[in-house]
Amino acid sequence: MAKVWSVSKARRGRQRERSRARAQRETAISLLYLVPSLIVFSLFIFYPLFKSIYLSLYASDPFGLGNTPFVGFKQYEIALKSQSYRDGLGVTILYTLYTVPLGILIALGLAVLANLRVRGIGFFRTVYALPIGVSVGAASIVFLLLYNSRAGVLNYFLTSLGLPAIEWLTEPRAALWAIAILSIWAGIGFNFIVLLSGLQGIPEELYESARIDGANNLRIFRSVTLPMLMPTLFFVLIVSTINAFQSFAQIHILTQGFIRIGGTQHYLWRAVDQDGNVLDILVQRRRDKAAAKKFFRRLLKGLQYVPRVVITDKLASYGAARREVLPSVEHRQHRRLNNRAENSHQPTRERERRMRRFKSPGHAQRFLAAYGPIIGHFRPRRHRLTAAAYRETRTARFATWRAVTGVAAAA
């Protein structure tokens, strides 16, 4: 009997060793499959994250030049004490409260309807999921036309009903809701697909048992659907909150091209040459034919020559003013041809945020008229230069600027 027991014990020991070896082999294979993902995450997520944290502990001048002394957490302290940072954080939290709950509720309602077994439901599922295939940039352009205060569809319906038109993108409260509506629409597709998958994963036996017990549809939804869907809802909540805090494209597109001075919207009429250098800037409250004519006349007076070709966006006022002021000049309008002028707005908006808004139209006009033509000197085409060449170019251009303006001698 003892001999049989010892043999069985030895056999079990060999089986445990084989099981342990098999588990180790499977673990090694699993880690091997994870290596490509770990490399990608390390290069594009983990390394930039820790590098950004490391760089935030050092100070540098606004242009990234000069020595970088170690300052520790002083910059975080300055940011937390900044009123503009607190204001921005408050608006971001309010924007998140607008978009996340409403987006989840609407997507959940659509998912419940699309989960019904009726004829033709596949068509509606496709329609509800369509926003996921539209880029935020394209959607922002469409909503920009809808929100236009003069020619927008929304204000057209409001005025048709006898209601006052709304300045969707200039009034602070209306602008926040306008951007929130766009974000809700853009996120519905993803939320709908995830919630519909969660609903379809709930066992049918639970619904049948609830119906046998006499539960109505509302009680079934509250006692069966919601508890079983809670993990999916939690996932959608986390993802939607992260997306809300990371929102940028729709906000940037819907608010670019104009500045707000004293609560009043002013448009930036800007001319650039074929290299993207700013020729002139004019701040005006209107965006009509008279404003376009004024801009063209100012541009001709400053340039002292007539251009061969004028490229603008699709605003009709440009064409009407060009026929009167520049009748012999070729006029081109295309959504991609005007990219240089559109991109030239970015430095102004960055400068506006740093200056905490312009105080008056005259202040904006004086600053932009002087700042716009010279900004290209300090902003070489970075995408065409290496990091070392970019720093050398910036250093040389600042030296040229100091030599021309006499800053070094005056100091």
Please tell me whether residue 167 adopts helix, strand or coil conformation: coil
- Please give the residue that has the higher pLDDT: either 401 or 351: 401
Mind listing the pLDDT tens digit for each residue in 248-300? 888 877 876 555 565 566 677 667 766 656 667 777 777 677 888 887 888 77
What letter does residue 147 receive in the DSSP assignment?
T
Smallest Cα–Cα separation from 166: which of 148, 181, 180, 179? 148
List of residues 6+ apart from 379 with CB closer than 8 A: 347
Smallest Cα–Cα separation from 92: which of 176, 186, 190? 176
- The answer to whether residue 381 scores a pLDDT higher than 80 is no
Supply the pLDDT for residue 96: 94
- The answer to whether residue 401 scores a pLDDT higher than 90 is no
> How far, in Å, are 22, 39, 137, 387, 411 from residue 141 at the CA level?
57, 37, 6, 34, 48
Strands (E) in 99-172, as ranges, are none
Supply the pLDDT for residue 191: 94
Mind listing the pLDDT tens digit for each residue in 289-325? 788 888 788 877 777 777 777 777 656 677 777 788 8
Encoding tokens for residue 180?
A: 């929130």
Supply the pLDDT for residue 10: 64
- The answer to whether residue 382 scores a pLDDT higher than 70 is no
The C-alpha atoms of residue 357 and residue 346 are separated, in whole angstroms, by 15
Smallest Cα–Cα separation from 328: which of 300, 292, 302? 300
Supply the pLDDT for residue 83: 80
- Please give the residue that has the higher pLDDT: either 50 or 299: 50
Q: Quick one: pLDDT band at residue 169, thresholds 50, 70, 90? A: confident
The C-alpha atoms of residue 193 and residue 165 are separated, in whole angstroms, by 36
Q: Quick one: pLDDT band at residue 81, thresholds 50, 70, 90? A: confident
Which residue carries 């935030």 as its tokens?
A: 56
Average pLDDT over the chain, rounded to an integer: 78
Q: Are 310 and 330 in contact (CB under 8 A)?
A: yes
Encoding tokens for residue 167?
A: 């300045």
Q: Are 323 and 295 in contact (CB under 8 A)?
A: no
- Please give the residue that has the higher pLDDT: either 208 or 67: 208
Q: What is the mean pLDDT of residues 53-72?
A: 72
What letter does residue 69 receive in the DSSP assignment?
-
Q: Quick one: pLDDT band at residue 409, thresholds 50, 70, 90? A: very low
Q: Are 151 and 201 in contact (CB under 8 A)?
A: no
Smallest Cα–Cα separation from 142: which of 365, 134, 212? 134
Portion of the chain with pLDDT greater than 90, in percent: 16
Max Cα separation, the chain? Answer: 114
Q: What is the mean pLDDT of residues 58-78?
A: 73
- Please give the residue that has the higher pLDDT: either 237 or 24: 237
Please tell me whether residue 411 adopts helix, strand or coil conformation: coil
Supply the pLDDT for residue 264: 62
Encoding tokens for residue 103?
A: 């987006």
Q: Are 57 and 71 in contact (CB under 8 A)?
A: yes
φ and ψ of 231, to 5 deg: -60, -40
- The answer to whether residue 13 scores a pLDDT higher than 80 is no
Q: How many helices (H) and strands (E) in the chain?
A: 19, 5
> How far, in Å, are 76, 256, 291, 296, 334 from residue 330 at the CA level?
52, 27, 20, 14, 13
Q: What is the mean pLDDT of residues 104-117?
A: 92
Mind listing the pLDDT tens digit for each residue in 189-203? 999 999 999 999 989
- Please give the residue that has the higher pLDDT: either 143 or 338: 143
Mind listing the pLDDT tens digit for each residue in 316-362? 677 777 788 878 777 776 545 555 555 544 555 554 444 445 667 77
Q: Are 139 and 185 in contact (CB under 8 A)?
A: yes
Looking at residue 170, its amino acid is T
Q: Quick one: pLDDT band at residue 411, thresholds 50, 70, 90? A: very low
The structural domains of the chain, ordered by start, are 88-254 (1.10.3720.10), 264-379 (3.30.420), 387-411 (no CATH)
